[in-house]
Amino acid sequence: MSFAKRVATVLLILGLIACASASSELRSEAVGGYGQITGRIFALRADTSLAFANIIIVGANKGAMSLRDGRFTIRDVFPGTYTVKVMMMGYKTLEIRNVVVRANETVEMRCRLTETIVSETQIIEVTGERKVIDVSANGVRSSVTRSEVKAGDRLSVRGGRSGEITTRISGRGRRPATPIQRSESAIQRQRHLVPNNEAYARVDANKFLSVIEKPMSTFSIDVDAASYSNLRRFIRGNTLPPAHAVRVEELINYFRYDYPEPDESQPFSITTEMSDCPWNVTNKLVHIGLQGKRLMLEDLPPSNLVFLLDVSGSMKPANKLPLVKSAIRLLTRELRRNDRVALVAYNSTVSLCLPSTRGDQKRTILDAVDRLQARGSTAGAAGLRLAYAVARKNFLKKGNNRVILATDGDFNVGVSSDHELVQLIEKERESGVFLSIMGFGTGNLKDSKLEKIADKGNGHYAYIDNILEAKKVLIREIGATLFTIAKDVKIQIEFNPAKVKSYRLIGYENRVLEKEDFNNDKKDAGELGAGHSVTALYEVVPVGPDGDLSYLDEFKYFHVGIDPDAFASREILTVSFRYKPPAGDTSRLITKTVMESDTRFDKASDDFRFSAAVAEFGMLLGDSAYKGKACFEDVLAVAKEAKGKDEQGYRAEFIQLVEICSLLTKNQ
């Protein structure tokens, strides 16, 4: 072969290698995960960090708010080219175009805002530098290049590490809206950022009901707290949650209250309190609390757990399958020798990744967890059937038998409708195997489906937005999460018509029952776990101080009579509870009366006032027609005063969320 031919052959081979490499890179990008945008916001003139600036990715339903040091992070950004806006009251809006986000890469920004008297949108002149960093397989930085970034330039990052831009802005824009218009448009803009492929069941707030027409209010307890951690995810991402994602009772029940321990004869205690309603001072607020019996870890019965893990392609992001694996690792540390764990994974197919294994074989369990990878579609129903079969095979007669489903809620292969899934789960629960749900991730969360199937599976639904929430659910509250002490728990309130004109149950909209359901032991209701507390609030309209009962004359064909003793009594209502033991089929009854009270709101207990603040917050986020004079400032003031001991810091975190929401609706 001549020298020329040999050169041509070598060039051809090199060209083929280059093409293959490029093709491989493109394939990698096509199937890769999400990227993220991080950075820091400064004031151009003072060169100081700016807190509470709003950073929004136009058209991507993503955003963030800068922290006190000016830093921000927008996670789980789908690969693509975007326009990023930085907005803050008192500064000109910065618009950065052609920002390229690639899979598994981070774009870093260093943005400087110019102070202005009015909020403006302007033409942007961008200057600064771009870093392109190549990192070798062993992590050693091999090269750094810099270049000027001008208006219209594309900012991209190769090698999966960092990039930086510095901005200078100038221009003119429109005048700001009035304060009221700005608040309304801010709420609308924040709602617009909500991912449109998440699914939430419609929530229509309970109405005020006449005591004469409906003297009894009946509902199933709800110990879920998923709504709170889910809305926290939105708020931390600088957006208000969708109104139907707000289930007020789940917000209230996220927190622990200082209820007394039950005595030995009952699985739970009952606490009641009454005071003024903070958002409508002419009404009263009634607080009802149940406290389940607490059990130490060593006193809990053995567990037969089957983790049913969604490992479909939608679970790739860091806040999905990787967080699921971290959560299971936390729980594995707490497992005892007499506990058993199995892992069932499902995507396009279903597989038993770990047969039922003793809790002390931690290395075996952890190795199986480490091998999990996300890919394929979602055969959720088939996974449920296998998980239940594994749980039944290893059933513990005197233990806790439970399937724990970890997913973002998507079921797109096989049985997929809510009705069919509910039928499957209702049939399986008869075996004594309960179902709990842990929801993960953003952008694809099927909240309505997960909440419904957990309810029908005699379990509860938690949303895990970070590793601390996983610790709360699986470690700190393990008894409440995994061990049922009472099932089919129902509450029925009978109001005294001589004292109460009308009432409204706050929250529990999808748990309301008919009056006849209370004594029907075949009617399914909520489960109470060891150490769980359940809180319910009623807003009541009292009969006037002069005892005016003219509203009774509304009826034409019958006369409403009230027991004369009701007028002399101080009883405002009677609370009745029904529950079944975990292995029982016959319910037991407990009753307690609540007396009218003139206790001023500022003199009520910390628990009463804090729960009222949470309820008011929920009504604001859900845009309830019954929010009265509620506002974030009042919620903030009450929550701060009623924070109490707060050993775990959950109430302090709530206060921060309220502060962010207040800013989101003002600083736009």
Q: pLDDT by residue (tens digit) across 389-415? A: 999 999 998 888 999 999 987 665 555
Least confident of 279-283, 416-420, 508-512, 618-622: 416-420
Q: CA separation (Å) from 194 to 62, 233, 239, 593? A: 8, 11, 7, 44
Q: How does pLDDT run across 352-389, given as a tens digit for each residue?
A: 999 999 999 999 999 999 999 988 877 777 888 899 99
pLDDT for 476-512, tens place per residue? 888 777 788 888 999 999 999 999 999 999 999 999 9
Q: How do residues 1-54 score in pLDDT, each as one tens digit?
A: 554 445 444 444 444 444 444 333 333 333 346 788 999 998 887 678 887 788
**Token pair 């617009």: residue:** 192
DSSP per-residue string spanning 507-528: S-GGGEE-GGGGG-TTS--EEE
pLDDT at 539 over 60: yes
Ranges 122-126, 255-259, 419-423, 478-482: which has the least confidence: 122-126
Burial group, residue 419, by CB count within 10 angstroms (0-12, 13-18, 19+): exposed
pLDDT of 403 reads: 94
The residue ranking higher by pLDDT, 321 or 165, is 321
Residue 484 has a pLDDT of 84
User: What pLDDT was estimated at residue 22?
Assistant: 38
**Is the pLDDT higher at 583 or at 184?**
583
Using CA atoms, how far apart are residues 149 and 216, in angstroms rounded to an integer?
68
Residue 114 in contact with residue 91, Cβ under 8 Å? Answer: yes
Per residue in 165-179, pLDDT tens?
A: 333 333 333 333 333
Distances (CA, A) of 399 to 136, 380, 460: 52, 26, 18
Least confident range from 68-82, 120-134, 231-245, 453-467: namely 120-134
Of 62-66, 92-96, 315-319, give the lowest mean pLDDT range: 62-66
State the burial class of residue 318 (Cβ atoms within 10 Å of its Cβ: 0-12, 13-18, 19+): middle
- Greater pLDDT, 18 or 336: 336
Predicted confidence at residue 438, as pLDDT, reads 93
CB distance 342 to 384 below 8 Å: no
Beta-bridge mates of residue 463? 439
C-alpha closest to that of 487 among 362, 592, 547, 402: 402
DSSP-assigned states of every residue in 61-128: TEEEE--TTSEEEEEEEPSEEEEEEEE-TTBPBEEEEEEEE-TT-EEEEEEEE-B-SS--B--EEE--
Chain-wide mean pLDDT for the chain? 80
pLDDT digits (tens, 9 = 90+) for 514-529: 999 999 999 989 888 8
- Residue 371, C-beta contacts closer than 8 angstroms, at least 6 positions apart: 353
* pTM for the predicted model, two decimal places: 0.71
Q: What percent of the chain has pLDDT over 70?
A: 78
For residue 593, what is the DSSP state? E
| Contact predicate 390/342, CB 8 Å | yes
Tell me, what's the pLDDT at 105?
Answer: 85
CA 201 remoteness from chain centre: 14
Q: Is 598 exposed, middle or buried (0-12, 13-18, 19+ CB in 10 A)?
A: exposed
The answer to whether residues 206 and 504 touch, using CB atoms and an 8 Å cutoff, is: yes
Question: Tell me: the pLDDT tens digits for 433-481?
Answer: 999 999 998 877 888 888 888 888 888 899 999 999 999 998 888 877 7
The arithmetic mean of pLDDT across residues 274-285, rounded, is 96
pLDDT tens digits, residue range 184-222? 444 444 444 444 578 888 999 999 999 988 999 999 998
CA-based diameter of the chain, in Å?
Answer: 118
Q: Which of 528, 8, 662 is nearest to 220 (CA)?
A: 528
Query: What pLDDT is stored for residue 42 in this prediction?
Result: 87
* Range of lowest pLDDT (140-149, 375-384, 647-656): 140-149
Q: Which residues contact 347 (CB under 8 A, 6 or more apart)?
A: 310, 311, 312, 313, 374, 375, 376, 377, 378, 379
Between 61-75, 244-258, 264-278, 618-632, the lowest mean confidence (pLDDT) is in: 61-75
